[in-house]
Amino acid sequence: MCGIVGVSNHKEAAKIAFLGLYALQHRGEEASGIASYDGKNFHLSKSQGLVADNFNEHTLKGLKGKIAIGHTRYSTTGSSNPKNIQPFLVTHKKKPIAVSHNGNLTNTEELYRRLEEEGSIFQTTMDSELVIHLLAKTKNGDLKGWLINSLSQLQGAFSLVLLIGDTLVGVRDPQGFRPLCLGKLGDAYILASESCALDSIKAQFIREIAPGEIILLKGGLAESFFLPHDPNKNKSYCIFENIYFARPDSNIFNDNVYQVRKRLGAELAREHPVQADFVMPIPDSGNYAALGYAQELNLPLEMGIVRHHYIGRTFIQPTQFLREFSVRIKLNPIGRVLEGKKIIVVEDSIVRGTTSRSRIEELRKAGAKEIHMRISCPPIRFPCFYGIDFPSRKELIASNKTVKEIADFIKVDSLEYLSLEGMLKVVKDSKDFCHACFNGEYPVSIPKNKSKYLLEGGQKK
């Protein structure tokens, strides 16, 4: 999962891109970068680390031009290596081409082999670089035909922002796995993964980029067309965006994330009520489901844990060591609230189970008498190949244990998950959501080599 942003026709495009990336920091914390073009030269600044740490007034001043794209990274293909930081930028026929990509391609290995045999030399180990090579290899004609011929070779999940000379291009794959929206700020157009990025710069939300759509933005003008696809085919919006990844103040997939999470919590309460002294969330991702759960059962809602806000998102840390370290210092239980109480803990999901186990242990130490855990999505039993970093079943606790065994492992008095039917009941156009991580029904063919490091000699799993 990554955050992408693009700015066209703004005199301070790089600064606007920075502010957009800052609002999208939750989508990736490993690295960030911005590329801009001033009509003659391209400029690039990228580094490992958080957006606020990587850019300052001096670096932003050097990113000249009225067009810019940005990226904040959460690696799903390729390791956490400086060479894999985006935007990825090259010069082709004396013009800059840069790409920022959110998602995962499923035909990476086939494209890589073919392009390498045709003479391509790769500089990174991420699937996003393939976009540049396809553009360079495909016969140039008019921009529209060039983009369609190049990008129609991609399979899987891809929301893209491209800088091609003085034109900003936004692309969303035909299944619409990852969100991408369009906004306007004066005479400038803005592309962003989520609408919260538009809100942060006071841009007007226009609409979501449609699945399969390519939009060209140049000099305050917009033109759009579509990749070849069947418009009657169901889409594949990622349900996990609503459950965990997207910010609650964002509007994605024709709905508001905050309201979806509340509805998930209310449905969870209807399916799995329990008597207790109060409901409490695991902050912050469980907050809104817990609110919906508590309101549905007319139970008090308490914040029994205080979050250390200078620690990043635990699940998207790149290694288990960092995840466990973050858990220990990220959340601190409030003993005087918890002591002697029967509590209902609401969490958005359980992926590996190790963080949940640590959190429950801390709640026990703080004096909780009974702990009943409720999860606002079904058990995650299958890997994702469309942009979420749980790529093998052995990493997923629900793939190897029953609900009772998971409850025993994390040491709760009871554990219940929202049903698949209940989850789909609360989202709009439920037929258009991908839920392969829950039931293994993949809407797009999955890769033969399932390793995150397939371009680094990773073995098939």
Q: Annotated catalytic sites, by residue?
A: 2
**What is the chain's length?**
461
User: Nearest to residue 83, comparing CAs of 139, 37, 126?
Assistant: 126
- Say whether 82 sits in a helix, a strand or coil: helix
Kindly report the number of other CB atoms within 10 A of residue 7's CB atom.
35
Residue for token digits 């890997």?
Answer: 383
What single DSSP character describes residue 456?
A: G
* Spatial CB neighbours of 114, under 8 Å, sequence gap ≥ 6: none
Q: What angle separates helix 129-137 from helix 108-117, to the nearest 10 degrees? A: 40
Q: How far is CA 416 from CA 129, 325, 383, 395, 431, in A?
A: 42, 27, 21, 20, 24
Tokens of 325: 């370290």
Peptide bond into 284 cis (omega under 30): yes
Sequence-distant (6+) residues with CB within 8 A of 352 are: 320, 323, 390, 395, 396, 397
Residue 183, φ and ψ in degrees, nearest 5: -135, 175
283 within 8 A of 304, measured Cβ to Cβ: no
Dihedral angle, C-alpha 406, 311, 239, 343, nearest 10 °: 50
Tell me phi and psi for residue 403, to 5 degrees.
-60, -40
The encoded tokens of residue 91 equal: 């010069």
Tokens 């209902």: give the residue.
344
